[in-house]
Homo-oligomer: A and B are copies of this chain.
């Protein structure tokens, strides 16, 4: 990749990933074909239209729905390759999928993995399997199958090194009836109301998003080495960058199973807090009490001299998952979350403003769609 010494205007596109063009191609070139497939099935197994801000629901009959999610670990895998440490990305692979499934209230049940690899590397394959197993345990799911594809010519890699891609597809079950029925009841986000509060659950770090940008900023031009100990991180950069994505399944399922009034669930993945606008209501989200930004995000922002608007639109900035609930329920939910070992706090409020805007008060950011705009840069204390 070409180097670029001027980072102040770095966007995701300049990091080699053209997100807007991808969204355009998806919307205009691909979705029309995929929508046509909705005609190919009626009755059992057919998608239920109009619901599913984090995945479509397939009708299983008997008031049950099946939810599917697929996601890889993206270029975080390159960090694992460079460090020859493969026992954490499997956790990310599980997390990226199950954290999406629970946004609909679905209980994840299983995940299939797909590994494309340039040749058989026993250590790498065992490390991945171990990580998948650890992630499956955290999520309470099984791994009943998977696929390994050896494709030596597909990968760009140095002689003698291992290159691979890791992807998962997870399935979950949700109850579509009024009653709780072994599996939790659908949370479709439609009940989110102005005045509801937004509880933010701490992320464990970068999770699995923004790695093209992060590698560009921190690693290109040998700015930092992966084995470099960084004081403010309290560990090496490589260790920080391989920190597994936190899995929110067990605490969220526990809250759902206890019948607490939960109006919306949002996985803060690629796009950061802008994911709040995926909730299917015409409200806005005012983040007025964001916890301190963890050191890794500060390091990325400072090193890349990146504007707040760029980092907040690409990274989770310390919040990995959001729960929207009535304000009267916040304290009891926070107590329960704490009992599950989660670090959680009320970070914001739902407002009646239309347009699905996400406002980060302290940084003067107003976001919608895929980007933030800075409205009062001087207020930024980062």
Contact = CB atoms under 8 A, between A and B. Distances in A.
Interface of A: 1, 16-19, 21-22, 25-26, 29-34, 36-38, 40-41, 43-47, 55-56, 58, 60-62, 64, 66, 68-72, 74-75, 78, 107, 109-110, 112-114, 116, 119-120, 122, 125-126, 128-130, 132-133, 136-137, 139-157, 163, 165, 167, 169, 171, 173, 182-183, 212
A305 to B, nearest CB: 23
Given A30-B126, A145-B70, A137 B75 contact: no
A70 B129 CA distance: 16
Given A22-B150, A30-B129, A125-B30, A145 B68 contact: yes
Question: Which of A32, A70, A146 has the most C-beta atoms of chain B within 10 angstroms of its own C-beta?
Answer: A70
Count identical subunits in the complex. Answer: 2
Contacts of A143: 34, 37
Nearest to A44: B182
Contact of A114 (B21, B36, B72, B136): B72
Contacts of A68: 110, 112, 144-145, 169, 171
B169 A114 contact: yes
Contacts of A156: 153-157
A58 to B, nearest CB: 6
Contact of A147 (B34, B70, B116): B70
Nearest to A156: B156
B169 A132 contact: no
